[in-house]
Each structure stands twice: as C-alpha cells, then as structure tokens.
Amino acid sequence: MQITTLTDLEAVKARGLAQLYPEKPKILVGMATCGMAAGAQRVLETLQKRAQQLHWDGAVEKTGCIGFCYEEPLVDLIIPGQPRLTYARVDQEFAAEMMTAVAAGTVPEENFLARLDVDDMILDGGPRRFYEGALSGFVAQAPRYEDLDFFKLQRHLAMRNCGFIDPDNLEHYIARGGYFALHRALTSMTPEEVIEAVTVGGLRGRGGGGFPTGVKWASCRKAKGWPKYVLCNADEGDPGAYMDRSLIEGDPHAILEGMLIGAYAIGSTEGYIYVRAEYPLAVKTLQRAILTAREAGLLGQNIFGAGFSFDIKLNLGGGAFVCGESTALMASIEGRPGEPRAKYVRSVEKGLWNLPSNLNNVETWANVPLIIAKGADWYREIGTEGSKGTKIFSLVGQVKNVGLVEVPMGVTIKDMVNLIGGGVPEAREFKAIQIGGPSGGCIPRELWDLPIDFDSLWDAGAMMGSGGMIVMDNSTCMVDVAKFFLDFLIDESCGKCIPCRLGLKRMRDILEEFSSGKGSLADLEELQSLSEAVQDGALCGLGSSGPNPVLTTLRYFRDEYEAHILGRRCPAGVCKDLITYAINQELCNGCMACVRECPQGAITGEKKQPHQLDATLCIKCGACFEVCKFGAVEVS
Amino acid sequence: MSISFKSLETILERHPPSPEHLISALQDVQARFHYLPKEAMTAVCDHLGVPVSRGWAVATFYKSFSLEPQGEHGISVCMGTACHVRGARNLYDKFRRDLGLPGEEGTTRDRKFTLRQVRCLGCCSMGPVAQVDEEIHGNLNQRKAGQLIKLYRKR
Amino acid sequence: MVTFTINGKEVQGQKDWTILDVARWEGIPIPTLCHHPAVEPYGACRLCVVEVDEGRRTRIVISCMYPVKEGIKVRTDTPRVQNVRRWIMQLLLDESPASSYLKELAKSFDVKPSRFQKAGVSFACHLCGLCVRACQEVVGIQALTFSNRGLKKEIASPLQMGSKDCISCGNCLYVCPSLGMEQLYARMRA
Ligand SMILES: Cc1cc2nc3c(=O)[nH]c(=O)nc-3n(C[C@H](O)[C@H](O)[C@H](O)COP(=O)(O)O)c2cc1C
Ligand code: FES
Ligand code: FES
C-alpha cells in the first residue's frame, strides 16, 4: 500500500507490532551471511518441517545478525508473556528437539545463551517489556543479555533492528519507529534544521576519516550545480571488517531512510548505493528493500506529499578495494576503471559526473534517522568529547568471542579484548590489536588503556578506519603483519601514481630482506624515509596511509624487527626462512597423524615410536603442527 | 569459442545504450558465461557506444572479471586479516599443492577447479574460511582442505 | 589575478592557473614527467610536488594540478619535497637502470641504481599516460588504453590484438618520453 500520511504510517506500525509481538509463539533464525555459513538455512528448514508435522500454531521467521557471530546459528524463541530466549550453536538435531519441546508447551534448556527481558525500542518511545510479573523455573535462573560479558558494554544504536526484524519486511521496520524520522524531517523541519541537528549531534563519518557529516552536507547544499547526488559507500574493502554488510543484511531500510533524510537536507533527487558484489545476500536485501520502499511511495515522487522526490539506484562494485575511495567510487559508478583523481576540487562541489555529490558510509547513514528522531542533544550524550555516538567493530582474530560489537566511543582496548572479547586463547598472550585495516596500525599492549575514539587512535598512529579490529597474540609476527598489509595494498593499488605503485613494492622488498634474515639496521632508516615519501607523494588515501601498518609496527615493535635483522630469528615462529620444525622426542607418542599428513614424506617413524623429521625435506607448511594433539611439533 | 547469441541479446536488452552501464553489463556477461568472451565484450561496447579500449580497461581493472574460462568448481580462499592471523597462508598453499597449480591462482588442467584468493568473506568468526562454489566452509585446516578437494572431485 | 609567493618571491597568476603554470612563467624550475602542455594534467608521476602553506596547514601537493590560491606560500625545495622526488627517481631508475633518458634526469638528484635494480631491462614504460591522453584528447579517439592495475598496469591495445580504432597517426610515438611506445605501436597497427 502507499504510505503518504502520518495516519498511514501509524496504521502500518500497528500491523507491524502485531507481527513483532504476536499473540502466538514465534521462532526467529539469524540468517545473515555468518548464520548461513554456520548452517542457518538447514536449521530454518528443519524448524519449518517439524512445525508442520506437529501442526504447531506459531511462526518461524528469519532475521539479521545480532552480533554473536561465534555462537551462530542463533535461534530466538518468543513466547507471549515470556522473555525472549536465545539459543546458540543450533544444529538440525537440536532444532527438531526444540520444536518438539515448544509444541509441547515447554522450553528447552540446552544450548541456551541468554534471555532478553526488555526490548530497547530506542526509536519508539522507549523500552518495552516482554513480560510482566515473576518468572519461574529454569527461565528465572537463566542469564540475561546484560549479564554476558560480551554484551555488558554494548549499546545497539545503528544495529537497533538487527536480530529483531525480518529485514525484508517494511512493516517490521516501521513498527520499531522506522520512517517516522523521515516524516518529521519532511513535514516539520527545514533542510537547514536537519543539517544543524546532524552537526550539533556531532556525527562523524564512520567510513574511516571521521569527517563531520553535517559540515559535509552543508558544503554540498551550498555547492552550485544540478542535480546533486547522494551516495552510500557500501564497498567495505577492509579485509577483516563486515559491519556494513551486517547492517545491510539486518536492517536495509535504516540506510534508505538515512539517505532520504540526507537528500532532503542537501537538495538532492538521485542517490546511488555502491555495494560490493562479493556480498550477494546484502545486494539482494538492498534490491528488495528499494523495491518495497518504492511500492510504498517512500522512494519516488512527492514523498509524504511534502513535495520532495528522491530515488536510489544500486551499483555493484567489481572487486577493487580502491573503489572505496570517494573519487574512485564515483569513477566506477560512471562505468570507468576505479582510478582516483586529485581532490583539490572537492567532490561535494564536483563529484559524480562533475556535479555536487555527497558520499557517506553505510553506518553513518544508519545513524541519521536516530539523530532526527531522538534529537541532537540526546545523541551528544553518548560517546566522548570529540567522538559522539557509538561505533560498530568487528572483533576478530585471536580472541574467544568473535563478532560484531557496537559500543559507545571511548571504550578502552583492554575492555574490548578482555571483557567483550573474552581474552586471547589459552596459553597465549595478548600482543596487539590492529585497527583501521590497511590504512590503520597496530597498537601494543602497553597502550591498552587507550580509549577507542577517532582522535586517540589518530595520535597513536592508527586510525578508526571502518572498524575492523583484529586481535593478535604472541603467535603473530609483526614483520609478517606489515608484509601482509603491504601485499594487500600492492595487489589493490590502482597503479596510477609512482609512490604507491613502486614505493609500496619497494617497502615490501625491504621487509622481505628482514624476514629472510638479510637485512641490516641501516635498512630501517631507508624504510622510514621511503615511508615518508610515500605518505607525502601518493595520490590518494590508499597510498598515503599505506605505510601506517609499517610505521606503527616499527614504532611499537622495533625489538621484533631487530630480532629479525640482528638475531636472524622470528620470535613468533612465522617467517619461514628463519624457523625450523622439529619433533620433541619426549612428547611424541607415535600416533602417526603427522606422518600421514606431511606432503613431503619428511616425517618417518613407527607406531608408538617417536617420529623423526628430516629437515632437508621439510617445506615448513605447518601441516604436522596443526594435526599434532600432543604439542610435540616444535617451531624454533 | 563461440557463444550463445540468444543469451547475449537478452543481456544487452537489459542495459540502455549509454556508457555508464558498461560495468553492470559486463557483470551480467560474466555471470552468464563465467568469463568475458572477446566477442561478448566487443558486442557490449558496441551496444553501449564506448570504444573497445575502454571495455578492455574496465575488464582488466576489476577483479571480478575473468578473461579466461573458469573451472567447474570455484574455490575462493579468504586471505583477509582475520583469516591470515589464523593461518590462511599455509591453508592456501595446501590447496595449491593438492591442485597442482604452479602459479598463485589459476585453473587446473582438467578444468575441474579454479583457485583464487579473496579478501574477507565476512565470516571472520570462522576463520580460516574458504568458499567452494556457493558454500562457505569455516574453521578449516590443511587436513580438512584435502578432504574438501577429494569431496568435490567426485561431484 | 591571484597573488601568492613561491620560495618567498611574490608572484601572480590567473584564477584557473596551476602552481606549475605560474612557476614556469616565472622561470622557477620544477621537474615534471607526466605533464605536457598539449593535454590535461594527469597527476601520476608526482615528481612536480611542492610544499604549500595554506594558512591552516602545510602539505605536499602536486604543482601541475593544484589551482593557485590567494595568499598561499609555496616552497619548491624543502626536505620533504626533496625526499619525495629523490625516491621517485630512485624507484624509476631501478625499474629501467639502462634508460639514458632517466639516467640523465637522475643525475640532478644524485641518484644511482640500487641493489633492487632490475637486470636486463633497457627501458620501462613509467605509465605517464601521455600516449593514452594524446590519443584521446588530441586525436579524439581511444585506440589504446591502460589495462590491469597496480604492478601489472600497462599500456595496451584492447583485447591484445590490433586496435580497430587506430588511425596510424603516430601521436603516441611522438609524445612518449621513453622508448616504450615503438613495439606497441607496431602491434596496434597489426
Ligand atoms: C583506499 C580507500 C578505501 C576506502 N574504503 C572505504 C570503504 O570500504 N567504505 C567506506 O565507507 N569508506 C571507505 N573509504 C573512505 C571514503 O573515501 C569516504 O571517506 C567515506 O566513504 C566517506 O563517508 P563518511 O564520511 O560517512 O565516513 C576509503 C578510503 C580510501 C582512501
Ligand atoms: S578475514 Fe576471512 S572471512 Fe573475514
Ligand atoms: S608532472 Fe605533476 S604529477 Fe607528473
């Protein structure tokens, strides 16, 4: 149906609420990419089949990802008058059992993760309890979400709907307060007031640079030229970050609504979303959301009868990290190779087709409706002095609780790793976090009281980037990490300017000398001056921030570089030219696992006899190390 | 190698003849044929009114296009940061060894497999990760990789 | 007219001029590689970098594209500028250590081939793109193009065959500063 008035919106909201808080029980399966990879599709099918067999009177639906990626597949059970119950690592077998139990009027106790008593419903007038009165039985004892370390410091603002709604269902989105902010902006605010709110709210770009969003909008509004374009950067190139994907897969309308509000403020009628083609589910979700919004009249001509028109096209990225850079992204939308150009004339003045264009990141857009709905002052309260609001991080790498984490700005690294992340694996030591992707840097344990916000990270030589946070322990070699990022950038460089094309390669060559034991201390000076030349000389952000991973590791882990250069050894046991594998004769109990696995036949031995490794045949592939259950394979 | 003109026509019909649709039209060709046949590339460029040289520049710039026919099964090994710190490099070398590929990426002689590196499949929680055709396999190690290849060889 | 300073000297330029335009006019030397008066600036070689004090901040920009602004202070020879130029020369020279043209240019920077120099290469295309740009902007066709990216980036004839758009005008040969174009030219006309 067409939504053109507040009354229409209220009517849809009522319908949506009846679906979100039904009178009958309901089961939700997390079906974002991470859930799917863990087998959510099969779980969903099992639940549906079993429900049919048992003639169960309830609904089985899909939803997005709430962030507990390490516990996927997640299944939520919503029974009227009960808290919402979350089950983790659900497989087909348990799904069938669960349905049987639920159909019989009980709730299973296995695989239980946590219960949720109150739904924040931040956009819609405040919290809503799932039940009244006292709980009984197992549920009363069950841990609440707030009791889980992973959740303690979190605050889901941008992810407000992820894991609560069916992303394809517009009614669900509206039920939780969606599109009311747009209505308010269009009917009771001038474009200038919208920009003012975003500026005062202190929203800074979540795509990397942290540029004040309101300031950008204001310059684009002022710029001469027509039409103006509003663009969404969903290229998410940082290898190890996936919050934008998750937002799109969990709550696509939040992004559309943000863009609509931005377009109104800037005076734009056309928008583009540039999304990675490697995210097939995100692409489909966006396609469906745009169609639904168009059918409802929320995209197109004369939205809410306010005389404002806007529509959005979807562009698929072709697999090039550099296309996340604003000018390259625009070149790509125009159908050209993604080569950046010099930005002496800013793209808010001359961007896409040389017309004023305003580009913001997915997460930035998702924050916009919130500021309009709740007000700039409400938003300002969250976060730190210079960095307002929350930020989503993908907490990954060598840490127990891997997943998406949305926290107010200013949480310390220590809390992120030890509390939320649950620490590094047993018997390992936390060494550093890498933040900001290939443009960011590694921050060592000594600085782990550092609050995570735009400016503190910048001062430490790293940057917020899009929010990838990779935890590293003592099994990670920092020279190797620096090499890894250079490899990535060399591979992704567009190749236009010399400092980036040849300079990064030269840096890589110098590091290669270190990790093969051929370096000298003088090379460190050379590396430093080359890094500075690349920073100063490169055309775009890819090149000019490319040396950051090298410079930060040099700054904080110089001893490790020196161990490679002077001691000819790799303390973490990673650099192949500097390590050897050996079998500890005492620990080996002769299980033959490594003998079978070694591709070179370098390991020999009899059952129940300690095995022998012939170092001349060994290619250091690490296969024996992986299969040995007794820690008998040693790297030195 | 000749290509089916029928399916090419339908792709062209979907794209209005203006240069901005170059990338999306080539993406459709890639999706249909799993690579960009030269005839198709020329046809797309003629249809959109862009010089072939621009089609070539685009086709060689973006990683999602391939200029060679692909193997029956595509194996994409994630080389993202999270997977890297969990041993993706050794895993990748295992795939390469077992498939007998001389270079970094490529297609096996029997056209059964195409191996390539990708950056972050968005499943970092299960790293190291590889995607075979449409399916994602997480928490891999070298032994599991060997089993995977055996499994798909039979399919 | 826009008034500003280069190396402390007060200079003037038209509104749409670049720093390089003004410097050339004033006879202040700035080295360039990818710049050519016949085509639009491209900003690839970065040899023409200068340091600009914009009041709020000081940064390194390329003079061939940076439009002049009132009151800026430009310096063409600071340590940062020299460091960028010296490294660019070093990297280029190591790519084609035998190129007489690069050797000549490198002399003024006191740069010699390093331990990373490529063996057995007499010249290498440094992707200044003059050929591609001359073909497009001067001749008005697009017979040749950049292909690939990063280290694999090269100038190519489309589809790796003869170019059906090439009219054999030879402009690309003429503007090419290295000897890279000859082979490709033959191939395009095949
Ligand atoms: C090499 C490079 C890659 C980038 N990749 C992304 C990206 O994947 N996603 C993104 O939102 N911004 C990316 N950016 C930042 C964008 O250029 C741009 O600043 C941002 O999208 C602006 O939105 P914001 O102000 O909302 O952050 C990248 C920048 C550079 C230099
Ligand atoms: S780094 Fe491999 S899936 Fe993200
Ligand atoms: S002359 Fe300015 S970048 Fe090449």
Residue range A291-299: average pLDDT?
A: 97
- Classified as helix, coil or strand, A125 is coil
Q: Which of B51-55, B133-137, C58-62 has the lowest mean pLDDT?
A: B133-137
Is the pLDDT assigned to residue A526 strictly greater than 90? yes
| Pairwise CA distance, residues A401 & A149, whole Å | 10
- Classified as helix, coil or strand, A309 is strand
Q: Which residues have C-beta atoms less than 6 Å from ligand 2? A: A 239-240; B 78, 80-83, 120-124, 127, 129
Q: Can you tell me which atom of ligand 2 is nearest the CA of B127?
A: 2
Query: Do A418 and A515 share a domain, yes or no?
Result: no
Query: Do A502 and A519 share a domain, yes or no?
Result: yes
Is the pLDDT assigned to residue A175 strictly greater than 90? yes
Query: Does some domain include residue A172?
Result: no
- What is the bridge-based pairing of β-strands A229-234 and A357-361? parallel
Q: What is the pLDDT of residue B3?
A: 59
- Ligand number nearest CA of A342 is 3
Chains with ≥3 Cβ pairs under 8 A against B? A, C
**Distances in whole angstroms, Cα of residue B28 to Cα of each of B47, B60, C68:** 14, 16, 45
Query: Does some domain include residue C31?
Result: yes
Q: How far is the CA of A304 from the centre of ligand 1 (A)?
A: 32
CATH number of the domain where residue C177 is located: 3.30.70.20
- Ligand number nearest CA of A496 is 3
B104, containing H or E segment: none
CATH number of the domain where residue A108 is located: 3.40.30.10
Q: Whose CA is nearest to atom 1 of ligand 2?
A: B80
- Whole-number mean pLDDT of chain A? 93
Query: Does some domain include residue A234?
Result: yes
Nearest chain A CA: its distance from C187 CA (Å): 23
Is the pLDDT assigned to residue B2 strictly greater than 70? no
User: In sequence order, what are the beta bridge partners of A63?
Assistant: A30
Q: How far is the CA of A208 from the centre of ligand 1 (A)?
A: 6
Instruction: Encode pLDDT of B9-43 as tens digits.
Output: 889 999 999 899 999 999 999 988 889 999 999 99
Query: Do A546 and A584 share a domain, yes or no?
Result: no
Query: Does some domain include residue A173?
Result: no
CATH number of the domain where residue C73 is located: 3.10.20.740
| Pairwise CA distance, residues B8 & B29, whole Å | 7
Q: Can you tell me which atom of ligand 2 is nearest the CA of B123?
A: 3
Q: How far is the CA of B10 from the centre of ligand 2 (A)?
A: 36
Per-residue pLDDT of chain C (190 residues; tens, 9 = 90+): 999 999 999 999 999 999 999 999 999 999 999 999 999 999 999 999 999 999 989 999 999 999 999 999 999 999 999 999 999 999 999 998 888 888 888 888 889 999 999 887 767 788 999 999 999 999 999 999 999 999 999 999 888 888 888 999 999 999 988 777 888 888 888 7
Boundary-marking domain end, from A473, A494, A509: A473
Query: Do A185 and A295 share a domain, yes or no?
Result: yes
Query: Does some domain include residue A362?
Result: yes
**Distances in whole angstroms, Cα of residue A610 to Cα of each of A38, A244, A628, A629:** 38, 50, 13, 14
Q: How far is the CA of B81 from the centre of ligand 2 (A)?
A: 7
Q: How far is the CA of C165 from the centre of ligand 3 (A)?
A: 28
Q: Give me the DSSP letters along A494-527.
A: ---SHIIIIIHHHHHHHHHHHHTT---HHHHHHH
A361, A394, A544: which to mutate for ligand 1, most atoms within 8 A of CB?
A: A361
Q: Tell me if ipTM is over 0.90.
A: yes
Query: Do A484 and A469 share a domain, yes or no?
Result: no
Interface test with A, best of B41, B53, B84, B139 (most A CBs within 10 A): B84
Is the pLDDT assigned to residue A22 strictly greater than 80? yes
Contact B127 A396 (CB under 8 A): yes
Q: What are phi and psi of C39, to 5 degrees?
A: -130, 165
pLDDT band at A635 (very low <50, low <70, confident <90, very high): confident
Tell me whether C91 touches chain A (CB under 8 Å): yes
Query: Does some domain include residue C59?
Result: yes
| Pairwise CA distance, residues A550 & A486, whole Å | 8
Q: Of A491, A493, A503, which is closest to C91 when you measure between CB atoms? A: A503
User: In sequence order, what are the beta bridge partners of A469?
Assistant: A395, A435
C143 interaction partners in chain B (CB closer than 8 Å): 51, 53
**Residue A550 near residue A487, CB atoms below 8 Å:** no
Contact B54 C141 (CB under 8 A): no
For residue B79, how many other CB atoms are within 10 A of its CB? 22
Q: How many CB pairs under 8 A join A and B?
A: 148
Q: Of A491, A496, A506, which is closest to C116 when you measure between CB atoms? A: A506
Query: Do A411 and A366 share a domain, yes or no?
Result: no
- Ligand number nearest CA of A233 is 1
- Ligand number nearest CA of A500 is 1
Q: Of A492, A529, A537, which is closest to C88 when you measure between CB atoms? A: A537
Is the pLDDT assigned to residue B4 strictly greater than 70? no
Number of domains within chain C = 2
Boundaries of domain holding C182: 130-189
Q: Of A492, A502, A533, which is closest to C84 when you measure between CB atoms? A: A533
Q: Which residues contact A570 (CB under 8 A, 6 or more apart)?
A: A477, A479, A480, A515, A563, A564, A578, A579
Highest-confidence segment of A256-260, A484-488, B1-5: A256-260
Query: Do A613 and A506 share a domain, yes or no?
Result: no
Q: What are phi and psi of A596, to 5 degrees?
A: -70, -35
Q: Can you tell me which atom of ligand 1 is nearest the CA of A237?
A: 8
Q: What is the pLDDT of residue A91?
A: 94
**Residue C145 near residue C172, CB atoms below 8 Å:** no
Q: Which residues contact A613 (CB under 8 A, 6 or more apart)?
A: A581, A582, A583, A602, A603, A624
Query: Do A528 and A592 share a domain, yes or no?
Result: no
| Pairwise CA distance, residues A332 & C145, whole Å | 16
Query: Does some domain include residue A341?
Result: yes
Interface test with C, best of B53, B58, B60, B61 (most C CBs within 10 A): B53
Interface test with A, best of C21, C32, C45, C46 (most A CBs within 10 A): C46
CATH architecture of B73-153: 3-Layer(aba) Sandwich (3.40)
For residue A190, how many other CB atoms are within 10 A of its CB? 11
C40, C46, C128: which to mutate for ligand 3, most atoms within 8 A of CB?
A: C46
pLDDT band at B1 (very low <50, low <70, confident <90, very high): very low
Nearest chain C CA: its distance from B61 CA (Å): 5
**Distances in whole angstroms, Cα of residue A372 to Cα of each of A178, A218, A268, A602:** 11, 16, 18, 66
- Classified as helix, coil or strand, B135 is strand
Query: Do A372 and A226 share a domain, yes or no?
Result: yes
- Classified as helix, coil or strand, A299 is coil
Instruction: Encode pLDDT of A300-352 as tens digits.
Output: 999 999 999 999 999 998 889 999 999 999 999 999 999 999 888 899 999 99
Q: Which of C140, C136, C121, C113 is nearest to C42 (CA)?
A: C136
Q: What is the pLDDT of residue C71?
A: 95
Query: Do A440 and A487 share a domain, yes or no?
Result: no
Contact A342 C43 (CB under 8 A): yes
Tell me whether C79 touches chain A (CB under 8 Å): no
Instruction: Encode pLDDT of A597-631 as tens digits.
Output: 888 889 988 888 899 998 888 988 888 888 888 88
- What is the bridge-based pairing of β-strands A441-444 and A430-435? antiparallel
Q: Can you tell me which atom of ligand 1 is nearest the CA of A210?
A: 27
C19, C30, C45: which to mutate for ligand 3, most atoms within 8 A of CB?
A: C45
Instruction: Encode pLDDT of A480-519 as tens digits.
Output: 999 999 999 999 999 999 999 999 999 999 999 999 989 8
Tell me whether C151 touches chain A (CB under 8 Å): yes
**Distances in whole angstroms, Cα of residue A530 to Cα of each of A100, B40, C52:** 66, 44, 21
A237 interaction partners in chain B (CB closer than 8 Å): 119
User: In sequence order, what are the beta bridge partners of A112?
Assistant: A87
Tell me whether A522 touches chain C (CB under 8 Å): no
Instruction: Encode pLDDT of B57-114 as tens digits.
Output: 999 999 889 998 888 899 999 998 888 888 899 999 999 999 998 878 889 988 899 9
Q: Is A339 in the pocket of ligand 1 (CB under 6 A)?
A: no
Query: Do A352 and A501 share a domain, yes or no?
Result: no
Q: Is C93 in the pocket of ligand 3 (CB under 6 A)?
A: no
Q: Which of A43-52, A137-146, A164-173 has the lowest mean pLDDT?
A: A137-146
Contact B55 C158 (CB under 8 A): yes
Tell me whether C22 touches chain B (CB under 8 Å): no
Q: Which of A276, A280, A287 is nearest to B133 (CA)?
A: A280
Task: Enter the pTM of the model.
Answer: 0.94
Query: Does some domain include residue A560?
Result: yes
A198, A220, A325: which to mutate for ligand 1, most atoms within 8 A of CB?
A: A325
For A51, the token pair is 């429900």
Number of domains within chain A = 5
Task: Report the chain C residue with the minimal C-alpha distance to residue A542.
Answer: C150
Boundaries of domain holding A515: 478-566
Nearest chain B CA: its distance from C160 CA (Å): 9
Q: Can you tell me which atom of ligand 1 is nearest the CA of A540?
A: 31
Boundary-marking domain end, from C77, C98, C122: C77
Query: Do A592 and A555 share a domain, yes or no?
Result: no
Boundary-marking domain end, from C15, C46, C77: C77
B54 interaction partners in chain C (CB closer than 8 Å): 142, 145
Q: Of A238, A320, A335, which is closest to B19 when you measure between CB atoms? A: A335
Q: Which of A577, A575, A624 is nearest to A604 (CA)?
A: A624
A288, containing H or E segment: helix A280-295
pLDDT band at A411 (very low <50, low <70, confident <90, very high): very high
